[in-house]
Amino acid sequence: MQRVAVVRFPGSNRDLDAVRAAERVGSEAYFVWHRDSDLQQADVVILPGGFSYGDYLRSGAIARFSPIMGAIQRHAAEGGAVIGICNGFQILCEAGLLPGALVRNARLSFVAKPVDLQVERTSTVFTNAFSSGDRVRVPVAHGDGRFVADAATLDRIEAEDCVVVRYLASGPGVEPNPNGSERNIAGICNAAGNVVGLMPHPENAVHPLQDSQTGQGFFDSMAAWQPLTARH
């Protein structure tokens, strides 16, 4: 059984959603406080959505200095799985675990609605249950969700196949890019595919009472991944 550590920062608000989504696929999920320095033998680390430290300075800019981040950086360097969702994605970028940055939405307003995505890369811990080109509908809820990077970095991300999901272009019945992200990027990964950042919230699209259940695939992928403890 996988051990999934969900990190709680002051201001996290999707932490319980992340725990429940992980439990739905049979994982042993538990909370880790941001002041801790031990991941308690986690196989997977989830940095959940919310407003860590009230998003003062910049989203994720203070949280990246929390003591737990040292353990997360070591975990990722050793090949452990890490996913940052929304505010968690912002924290991963601020900590240098992923390139680029998340800045104010193009229309300068908070957006909360389902959006349509296309899966680009399936060789990651969190997308291996999908086929390339699969379309999913997952909600977003953010004010600073526009992914930006300089042209050289964007070209490198593309060349290394590190775009995980993109927002779909406008069309009939399609909820398109909600924030103006460069190249419609909604999520990226590192080259190895063990560190993933997603701006949409798959943990809020896993239950029959929610608008969509297509977020389940991200957690099915996580459950199918062979954790480090099983590789030795």
DSSP conformation letters of 43-102? SEEEE--B-GGGG-SSTTTTGGGSTHHHHHHHHHHTT-EEEEETHHHHHHHHTTSSSSEE
Residue 171: which pLDDT band, with cuts at 50, 70 and 90? confident
Determine the Cα–Cα distance for residues 195 and 219; give it in Å rounded to an integer. 14
Determine the Cα–Cα distance for residues 166 and 108; give it in Å rounded to an integer. 21
Number of residues written out for the chain: 232
Residue 208: per-residue pLDDT: 85
Do 158 and 166 meet the contact criterion of CB atoms below 8 Å apart? no
Domain ranges in the chain are 3-231
Which is more confident, 231 or 18?
18
Residue 228: which pLDDT band, with cuts at 50, 70 and 90? low
Instruction: Please give the positions annotated as active site.
Output: 86, 201, 203
Residue 214: which pLDDT band, with cuts at 50, 70 and 90? very high
Over 70: is that where the pLDDT of 231 sits? no
Determine the Cα–Cα distance for residues 89 and 41; give it in Å rounded to an integer. 22
Q: What is the tens place of the pLDDT at every residue in 135-163? A: 999 999 999 999 999 999 999 999 999 99
- 3-231, CATH topology level: Rossmann fold (3.40.50)
Around 23, how many Cα atoms within 13 Å sit in the side-chain half-sphere?
11
Q: What angle do CA 142, 148, 153 make, to 5 degrees?
A: 145
Strand bridging mode 44-47 / 3-8: parallel
Over 70: is that where the pLDDT of 35 sits? yes
The arithmetic mean of pLDDT across residues 202-216, rounded, is 90
Over 90: is that where the pLDDT of 226 sits? no
Do 148 and 180 meet the contact criterion of CB atoms below 8 Å apart? no
The arithmetic mean of pLDDT across residues 203-218, rounded, is 90
Q: What is the tens place of the pLDDT at every residue in 58-111? A: 899 999 999 999 999 999 999 999 999 999 999 999 999 999 999 999 989 999
Residue 229: which pLDDT band, with cuts at 50, 70 and 90? low
Average model confidence (pLDDT) across the chain: 94
**214 closest CA partner among 139, 137, 120:** 137
Which is more confident, 208 or 157?
157
